[in-house]
């Protein structure tokens, strides 16, 4: 929410990015789709595509009714090969320092907004299953809270 008490206008298209497109960016993509439905085109990518969707990410998203189990990880390079032009996105939300650097490199010739949202990387942390789930929930909730703070409460009709 800005100083005027209003939320930013929802862009027509958003690209989330992180390191591997296996935890933070797919969670963000799924949460944004749940919150705002079809009012905004949403995709996600990673700097690298060397991992599949993380099981803990699937679990904590399912807890809030967000389906990410069918997500297929892809990189910036694959996105371009598959015909998704980076310049077609209105906003890139980078969730890791490496993805922010890559997004800024790729967008230097486009008029495109890139924002960095420092979301914790829960992978490899926690001594037990419950400790790991707690860290993944923290990342999930950080993403949710940032989205609501930026674009407002969820749309009543997610198909809108």
Mean pLDDT by 10 residues, the chain (160 residues): 65 94 96 94 91 93 96 88 80 94 84 90 89 96 97 70
Q: How far apart are CA 146 and CA 142, in angstroms?
A: 6
78 is written with which tokens?
Answer: 């694959």
CB burial string 131-158: b at 16+ within 10 A, e below: ebbebbbebbebbbebbeebbbeebeee
Q: How far apart are CA 14 and CA 140, in angstroms?
A: 18
Q: How far apart are CA 66 and CA 59, in angstroms?
A: 9
Contact between 142 and 118 (Cβ < 8 Å): no
| 143 closest CA partner among 43, 23, 37, 59 | 23
Alpha helix locations (H) across the chain? Answer: 24-36, 55-62, 76-81, 97-106, 129-151
CA dihedral 60, 66, 70, 71 (to 10 degrees): -80
Q: What is the pTM of this model?
A: 0.89
For residue 156, the model assigns a pLDDT of 63
For residue 157, the model assigns a pLDDT of 53
């Amino acid at each position: 929410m800005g100083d005027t008490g209003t939320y930013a206008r929802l862009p027509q298209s958003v690209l989330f990015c992180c390191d591997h497109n296996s935890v933070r960016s797919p969670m963000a993509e799924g949460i944004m789709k749940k919150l705002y439905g079809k009012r905004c085109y949403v995709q996600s990518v990673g700097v690298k595509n060397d991992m599949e969707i993380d099981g803990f990410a699937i679990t904590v998203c399912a807890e809030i009714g967000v389906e990410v189990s069918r997500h297929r990880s892809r990189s910036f390079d694959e996105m371009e090969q598959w015909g998704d032009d980076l310049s077609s996105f209105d906003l890139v939300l980078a969730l890791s320092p490496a993805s922010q650097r890559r997004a800024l490199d790729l967008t230097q010739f486009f008029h495109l907004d890139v924002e960095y949202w420092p979301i914790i990387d829960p992978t490899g942390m926690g001594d037990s299953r419950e400790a790991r789930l707690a860290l993944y929930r923290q990342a999930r909730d950080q993403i949710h809270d940032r989205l609501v703070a930026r674009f407002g409460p969820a749309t009543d009709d997610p198909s809108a």
